[in-house]
Amino acid sequence: MAEPLPGPAPAEGSTRGTVPDGPTLAARLGTTARGLAVPILAIFSALVIGAVVIVLSDVTFFERLQSDPGAALGAAVGEVLRAYRELFTGALGSPTDYVDAFTSGDPDLIRKAFVPISETLLAATPLIFTGLAVALGFQCGLFNIGAEGQLYVGAMFGTFAGFAFAGLPWFVHIPLAVGAGFLGGALWGFVPGLLKARTGAHEVIVTIMLNYTAYNLISWILKVPGYQREGRSDPISKVALDSSWYPPLVEGLRANWGFVLGLVAAIAVSWLLFRSTRGFEFRAVGFNPTAARYAGMSIATSTILAMTISGGLAGLAGTSIVLGVTHSLTFGISSGFGFDGIAIALMAASRPRGIILASLLFGALRAGATPMQSLTGVPIDLVVVIQALVIMFVAAPALVREIYRIRVPETTGLETFSQGWRA
């Protein structure tokens, strides 16, 4: 609708001496703050609606409302506050525990106080990888719904490398197992990439189908002698040797170096997308494949390569679980990390930095959910509701702006968000 508007006083000549180094620091901070406004308000809104859900899901609330409305409402507010307090302390630890632990100076107590944060980092780790996997696809115009399947195949390869090679020192064994996990996921991403490039088969369909193939592959291999744990009849793999385990960040806590690898992966993906020659092609193909082809880029190469790397990243999510937490492969290793990755990538607008933040948020919600349920009786499912609401609000920024009356400048020209994917 808006005609491209005249630049500020288009005088004779052009841009001589104007901002050669991009936006100033202040401008950049302003942009970042505006970028964060919507996600933060989205989280806040989700918590508010979550509170309503807590109250309404309490059956006794309505009975009490009839007899004594005031007390019922007071009790409801109390319950919401208690649930959220447990959720937050379950995710970040309680201030009093920190104070007590540090004043006592007992290393055991200090360690214990950090358990909630450790659990948050642990839960965030696979999400970082799957978020990056999906985001990389988005940036190249591909919708990888298959991160879940790629995660399982990566875990399968990683577990195998973990138990099959005995006697290796950790600095050989860990890279080997992690590399195997990347390879497994990459294989599961390469197939839809190849099919799309060669035949035009839509990656959404193929990756969904390959999720099911992956489940069946796992259910088969967990019954194969030599992969299945000796003496067990249920589907569970051998235990990976401890030389292949991600070492803990702090002895005695579950958070491990897999999280650090996630941060490294985020930096690597950021470099790949925004600094490297190949990433330039990925993004050009993602934003405008026709122009990319006219400019001499190969859409097929970008598609195959991006899907392969995306799959590999999802495979690393698998290793972060089997080498970092469970140390063996079962069906239960992923509770939808691959699908949460889609939400995280969307929430972060496919930016690696945003993916770390979004993963930490989702990780915190997951880590805080269990203590919340055990201490207050509010079901874990509340966390799923909150997650869903956060995603919904982030996906509908106009709604958030409307609720909080955030003025957006009437845009001049194109909106230039990542378009995600095309059908």
Partner 1 sequence: MKLELRGITKRFPGVIANNDVNLVVEPGEIHALLGENGAGKTTLVNVLFGLYQPDEGEIRIDDRRVTFQDPGDAITAGIGMVHQHFMLVPVFTVTENVMLGVESVRGPLGQQLDRPAARKRIVEISEAHNLHVDPDALVEDLPVGVRQRVEIIKTLYRQSDLLVLDEPTAVLTPQEDEELFEIMRSLKASGTSIVFITHKLNEAMGIADRITVLRAGRVVGTTTPQEATLESLAEMMVGRHVSLVVDKEPAKPGATVLEVKDLIVRDDRGHVTVNGLNLEVRAGEIVAIAGVQGNGQTELVEAITGLRHPVAGSIRIEGQAVRLEPRKVLEAGVAHVPEDRLEDGCVPAFTIAENLVLNTYYRPPYSNGLQLDRDAIGKEAETLVRDFDVRTPSVFNPVGNLSGGNQQKVIVAREFSRPIHLLVAAQPTRGLDVGSIEYIHRRIVEKRDEGAAVLIVSTELDEVLALADRIAVIYQGRIVDILDPESATPQQLGLLMGGSGPGEVAAAANGESGLVVTAHG
Q: Which residues bind partner 1 (CB under 8 A)?
A: 1-10, 12-16, 18-23, 271, 275-278, 280, 283-284, 287-288, 290-297, 409-410, 412-414, 416-419
- Other Cβ atoms within 10 Å of 155 Cβ, number: 34
215 versus 287: smaller Cβ distance to partner 1: 287
167 versus 296: smaller Cβ distance to partner 1: 296
Q: Pull the structure tokens for residue 153.
A: 């195949």
- Rounded to a whole number of angstroms, the minimum distance from the CB of residue 138 to partner 1 is 13
Compute the distance between CA of residue 147 and CA of residue 341 in angstroms, rounded to an integer: 8
Phi and psi torsions of 237, nearest 5°: -85, 175
- Rounded to a whole number of angstroms, the minimum distance from the CB of residue 130 to partner 1 is 25
Compute the distance between CA of residue 353 and CA of residue 32 in angstroms, rounded to an integer: 11
Largest CA distance in the chain: 84
- Rounded to a whole number of angstroms, the minimum distance from the CB of residue 412 to partner 1 is 5
Are 271 and 132 a contacting pair, CB within 8 Å?
Answer: no
- Rounded to a whole number of angstroms, the minimum distance from the CB of residue 324 to partner 1 is 31
- Rounded to a whole number of angstroms, the minimum distance from the CB of residue 419 to partner 1 is 8
DSSP code of residue 333: G
101 versus 306: smaller Cβ distance to partner 1: 306
Compute the distance between CA of residue 322 and CA of residue 181 in angstroms, rounded to an integer: 10
- Rounded to a whole number of angstroms, the minimum distance from the CB of residue 13 to partner 1 is 8
CA gyration radius, the chain? 24
- Rounded to a whole number of angstroms, the minimum distance from the CB of residue 10 to partner 1 is 5
191 versus 284: smaller Cβ distance to partner 1: 284
- Rounded to a whole number of angstroms, the minimum distance from the CB of residue 347 to partner 1 is 20
12 versus 230: smaller Cβ distance to partner 1: 12
- Rounded to a whole number of angstroms, the minimum distance from the CB of residue 415 to partner 1 is 9
Compute the distance between CA of residue 150 and CA of residue 137 in angstroms, rounded to an integer: 13
H helix runs in 295-351, sequence order = 299-321, 337-347
CA neighbor of 50 nearest in space, from 399, 389, 411: 389
Are 387 and 365 a contacting pair, CB within 8 Å?
Answer: yes
7 versus 200: smaller Cβ distance to partner 1: 7
Question: Does residue 413 sit in helix, strand or coil?
Answer: coil
Q: Pull the structure tokens for residue 34.
A: 């505006």
Question: Does residue 336 sit in helix, strand or coil?
Answer: coil
7 versus 167: smaller Cβ distance to partner 1: 7
275 alpha carbon, distance to own chain's centre: 22
4 versus 70: smaller Cβ distance to partner 1: 4
H helix runs in 200-238, sequence order = 203-221
2 versus 224: smaller Cβ distance to partner 1: 2
Q: Pull the structure tokens for residue 391.
A: 């995603």
Question: Does residue 281 sit in helix, strand or coil?
Answer: helix
